[in-house]
Amino acid sequence: MRAEFTMLPPATLQGSRALRSTLLEFFIDCSSASELSQWLQSIGQSIDGTSDQKRARLRQATKFVDLEASKVPRSALSFLLRYGDEQLSYLCEILALSTAGNPDEKVRRVMRHIGTVERWLPAAATLQERPLLQAHVRPFIEFHLVSKDAKTDDEVSMPLIAELIEIFGAAQVLDHRSVGTTTREIITVHVGDSIGDGVGVLVQRPATPSEVRSVMRKVKLFRSLYQDNFVLVLLPEKLDQLDRRMAISGLLSENVAVILK
């Protein structure tokens, strides 16, 4: 998976030295000799000596444990994306996380653990609250990593749906649900009770002005149904700069909760 971490830091950040120390030991132990040298070079340290000497030097010199809280997820992700399935499974075991799924799912699971511990994400206890509101769901969507290798809409939306199921449980997550009364549209995912309260999440990747207009039409319908519990995930990379700017300004003028990926 090639992905970037783009979420803006919330005001609730709270660094965990214990978690960072655990991650740092894993990153150092899993680094090859050349990776150790590159790491040392990047922080202005000598690359002389054996691999064990380099690891010892890194433990003394690296600032990861004391890193500014807003930089931790991006820094951790740069390491996690280097690893294969076996290494990621081992890290999940270290962190007492499930080892199920493919490498991308494991990266997202470790990142979500970091996000929860360091308070980017709501505490686990709040996820049991009912009804589920935008405040419960939106942070996880913002934190979600979208693969840059995704070529189709399903390759964007299905990993998000799978992660929401892992977070909230299969009973609370309905994908591609038909909603509306006089006009029926498909919401990408509904999080919450199957009937009544819940959060609607629409994932859209428009490529032309006509597709932008279609997005706006869908947004108006879903906003009327979900009110403040509607979230639009917009991937505007196929639009030219002018169309992208117009789409975003139009959505913001309608007070739509937009998450750009």
For residue 217, which amino acid is it? R
Percent of the chain with pLDDT over 90: 90
Which has the closest alpha carbon to 256: 146, 138, 154?
138
pLDDT tens sequence across 146-181:
999 998 889 999 999 999 999 999 999 999 999 877
Handedness of CA 12, 15, 19, 25 (dihedral sign): positive
The yes-or-no verdict on residue 192 having pLDDT over 70 is yes
Percent of the chain with pLDDT over 70: 99
Q: Which domains can be identified in the chain, with CATH numbers?
A: 17-117 (no CATH), 128-260 (3.40.1350)
pLDDT at 18: 97
Q: How far apart (Å, rounded) are the C-alpha atoms in residues 239 and 247?
A: 9
Q: How far apart (Å, rounded) are the C-alpha atoms in residues 194 and 185?
A: 16
pLDDT tens sequence across 236-249:
999 999 999 999 99
Of 3-7, 77-81, 100-104, 125-129, least confident by mean pLDDT is 125-129
Distances (CA, A) of 255 to 67, 143, 168, 224: 35, 21, 26, 12
Q: How far apart (Å, rounded) are the C-alpha atoms in residues 56 and 71?
A: 23
pLDDT band at 194 (very low <50, low <70, confident <90, very high): confident
For range 191-215, the mean pLDDT: 92
Which has the closest alpha carbon to 109: 118, 119, 96?
96
pLDDT tens sequence across 12-55:
999 999 999 999 999 999 999 999 999 999 999 999 999 999 99
Which has the closest alpha carbon to 256: 236, 225, 229, 235?
229
Q: How far apart (Å, rounded) are the C-alpha atoms in residues 189 and 202?
A: 7
Q: Map tokens 């994932």 to a residue.
A: 203
pLDDT at 183: 76
The yes-or-no verdict on residue 195 having pLDDT over 70 is no
**Would you list the DSSP string of the chain?**
------PPP-TT----HHHHHHHHHHHHHT--HHHHHHHHHHTT----S-HHHHHHHHHHH--GGG--GGGHHHHHHHHHTT--HHHHHHHHHHTT----S-HHHHHHHHHHHHHHHTTSS--GGGGG-SS--HHHHHHHHHHPPPPTT--SHHHHHHHHHHHHHHHH-GGGEEEEEEE-SSS-EEEEEEES-SSSS-EEEEEE---SHHHHHHHHHHHHHHHHHHGGGEEEEE--TTS-HHHHHHHHHHHHHTT-EEEE-
Q: How far apart (Å, rounded) are the C-alpha atoms in residues 213 and 176?
A: 20
Q: CB–CB of 186/178 below 8 Å?
A: yes
Beta pairing, strands 257-260 & 199-204:
unpaired
Global pTM value: 0.94
Q: CB–CB of 190/226 below 8 Å?
A: no
For range 78-95, the mean pLDDT: 97
